[in-house]
Amino acid sequence: MFQRSLILLVALIFSGPIYAHEFWISPVEFQVSVNSPITAHFRVGQDFKGGSHSYLSRYTTRHELHHSGAVLEMSAREGDRPAMQHPGLENGLAVLVHETTDSTLTYREFEKFINFIEHKDFEGLPEAHIARGLPDVGFIESYRRFAKSLVSVGYGAGQDRQIGLEIEIVALSNPYTDDLSEGMAVQVFLNGTPRADVQIEVFSRRAGTKEPALIQLYRTDALGIARFPVISGHEYMVDNVALRPVEAASADDPVWHSLWANLTFAVPKN
């Protein structure tokens, strides 16, 4: 046990690149006119860079648009790209929502798991992995994505709210209408309960560019709220991840399950 713990400690110190990949909703335009089409890509990648992915029903649990208190089911077609499309809305804040089904990955290198848990700041790991008697390689993690995006239609007035995702980032500020001089406020929930003292990762860059993203880390307070500065003319992605142990019935079952919350929005130019 001592030798194994020493190996894991060395892996923590000399770990390589981060292997966590975000999934996010990337609107073609964050601000649209009344009754103009709303379109958004699904993207998977790192550092706010990722390729576009099509809509596929077999990987979809929820695919919605929330606007003025109404929930609109998106009538998507297999293979749609952009993956989210709507013909247009009246004035207000539109919240695009997508929840995936579960997917799995198998860890062939323990260092990848170490990098992931260190990067996402999961306290008590890898000690918990060792205490459960789990193998260093060949173990399986399942994961599910919960993504939201804020789009301004016309004046863009309105407010984001909890919509019942298992893990969810709620924008307490409307980036299109509110005074953001004191920063943008978000609140993180897990099973409807605020996530206190957890890490959120904020990616930002000038809107409409492919320049490298600025990445900053913040922590939520006792109410699950975090506030961070924003710049006009920039787009943002906020990420929070939870990791849960799973009791596997067989060697082919996951032993960990991760839940990924994501929120994208833009701050208009002054």
Q: Distances from the Cα of 197 to the Cαs of 122, 163, 260, in angstroms?
A: 11, 22, 17
Confidence of residue 73 (pLDDT cuts 50, 70, 90): confident
In this model, does residue 257 exceed pLDDT 60?
Answer: yes
**Mean pLDDT within 120-125:** 90
Q: What is the pLDDT of residue 123?
A: 85
Q: Quick one: pLDDT at residue 20?
A: 54
pLDDT tens-digit map of 146-167:
999 999 999 999 999 999 999 9
**Is the overall model pTM greater than 0.75, yes or no?**
yes
4: pLDDT strictly greater than 50? no
User: H-type helices in the chain, by residue range?
Assistant: 2-13, 110-119, 127-131
Structure confidence at residue 14 (pLDDT): 30
Stretch 130-134: mean pLDDT, rounded?
94
Q: Which helix (H) or strand (E) holds 69?
A: none
**What pLDDT is stored for residue 74 in this prediction?**
86
pLDDT band at residue 199 under the 50/70/90 scheme: very high
CA 55/CA 41 separation, integer angstroms: 9
Asked whether residue 117 carries a pLDDT value surpassing 60, the answer given is yes
At a CB cut-off of 8 Å and minimum separation 6, what does 242 contact?
Answer: 167, 190, 195, 198, 258, 259, 261
Helix (H) or strand (E) holding 171: strand 167-171
CA distance 43 to 84: 12
Phi and psi at 64, nearest 5°, equal -140, 165
Percent of the chain scored above 90 by pLDDT? 88
In order of 71, 72, 231, 233, the CA distances from 68 in angstroms are 9, 10, 27, 25
